[in-house]
Chains A and B, each alone.
Chain A
């Protein structure tokens, strides 16, 4: 069976859920081989999970040169693997970095790239959602190797235990790929919650939240559900919530199982970032707000009474 490369998206070695989703998808296309690239020693935390989700091989490349420079070293290693192994497809997570690395690999290998797929058929046809979710497109790569980046939460991860034979890669990063050096990584506030892109549930607040302090009840609701916190551009532009939590056009695109929008009117620019969510709940005091056109369940009411009451109910029912 043909080999499918899955580029492992991880945080300090621990694979993100999207990696397991990619492995699950890859099994429909062929035999999945995971590609783990990171700092020395990081892969130890990853191997067990990768095998559990069906990786038959794990190519491991570990070097300070991979972790210390932006995208180019990873692209170099992956492009060499593509030329060496001639896989039927290479799957990346549709994160900012995943897309950037994929783009460079596309140039290096003379391949086409399908970015931001929400589904991928066994024959390599990708489904993309464009124009703020208004149009669905089915596309194929026509040149070189099939490179696809897939949005998190596009497919449920399913375990299928496999041996996961480890193959160490010899990492020699060229000087040319060491152009953009990562001097420092800074974590800002708001830790401890799942990452927005990866989260199964997202709770977002918008203009209706009114102030930075108002996000306290949004966070409390998110925590009761184990959810990530999002914000509309109105809220991040006003400085009420950090910019990296912005959902929508010019912000993050999320596709969770459940999206709860509180105090968000639902302009097209916001919808562009959340319209492919599986279930949408909206809480807004304006019954005319366009977000209600998307909502599977909409509650017309004051979020400052509804959200805390909802949090209380969830905590009570979850026991």
Chain B
């Protein structure tokens, strides 16, 4: 079984994230970056599927991002993925989610895969739509929001988190899966894994290499445009009181003053 795991490098959520004044895109250069947290769960799930299949499955890591995203690729390789593809091209800068899905789908089209696994959302954009976008473009079933994945032969079953519980969804391979963080506990890369990662195959592609049309990606051709942005003014300091034994009443008084009671 061939598994492709999508990973994304994102600004650390502990850092102050901002948009750049000139082109209104995410400032990726001046902040600490990490692998998008849920993507670690996606890598882990791929490793577990491979380990339980025990059939010499191969895991390919695929990322789109600037040169520095190679750090995130190395981490996924250190966790145990077998090889990696890095789509990196200045022309991709400022691509919207739809264009990103086009670029990734184009690369996926050149790879042999049974499963594509990604995290359910990235902490920077938080759209939670990459799995359906890719499924739509690739013409394969979408198994998104999985908190459990079971693969048997060519059938994949997931438990999809819903608002009231979960749905059991089934599809045949090839399919695109997105996972939520409840699904597993990602391993830490071992020292041996970190050393081995340096020798694993890494292919770097430009958009020309991948056959991506230059007029279909990048800020100028994005399907939506940021007109303006502003830092949200800090909330006006509220009233903070210490409980003097009447805390319940004090909160109730406030709720009444705001017409909630």
Contacts and interface: CB of A to CB of B under 8 A. Distances in A.
B243 A300 contact: yes
A189 B165 CA distance: 8
Contacts of A268: 13-14
A127 to B, nearest CB: 10
Q: How large is the interface on B (under 10, 10 to 19, 20 to 34, 35 or more residues)?
A: 35 or more
B157 to A, nearest CB: 7
B129 A100 contact: yes
A306 B127 contact: no
B143 interface: yes
A279 B250 CA distance: 16
A126 to B, nearest CB: 9
A296 interface: yes
Contacts of A210: none
A99 B163 contact: no
Interface string B149-184: 000000001001111111111111001000011100
B190 interface: no
Contact of A176 (B139, B167, B239, B254): B139
Interface residues of A, number: 94
A276 to B, nearest CB: 9
Contacts of A181: 169-171
B96 A306 contact: no
A309 B248 CA distance: 5
Contacts of A197: 163
Contacts of A311: 248
A300 B242 CA distance: 5
Contact of A137 (B124, B161, B229, B234): B229
Given A134-B232, A294-B235, A305 B225 contact: no
Looking at chain B's contact residues, is the secondary structure mostly helix, strand, loop, or mixed? mixed
Given A182-B169, A250-B37, A135 B128 contact: no
Contacts of B135: 72, 104, 179
B126 A130 contact: yes
Contact of B239 (A102, A186, A298): A298
A213 interface: no
B248 to A, nearest CB: 3
Contact of A180 (B13, B142, B230, B237): B142
Contacts of A14: none
Contact of A104 (B132, B145, B180, B238): B132
A114 B224 contact: yes
Interface string B104-143: 0000000000000000110111111101110111011111
Interface of B: 13-14, 16-19, 24, 37-38, 96-98, 101, 120-121, 123-129, 131-133, 135-137, 139-145, 147, 157, 160-172, 175, 180-182, 222-232, 234-235, 237-243, 247-252, 254-256, 258, 260-261
16 contacts: A72-B136, A95-B163, A100-B131, A113-B129, A116-B127, A134-B17, A135-B19, A135-B232, A140-B227, A244-B164, A250-B37, A281-B254, A283-B251, A292-B238, A295-B238, A313-B252
Interface of A: 70-72, 75, 95-96, 99-104, 106-108, 111-116, 125, 129-144, 176, 179-189, 191, 195-197, 201, 225, 243-244, 249-250, 253, 257-258, 268-269, 272, 279-281, 283, 287, 292-302, 305-314, 317-318
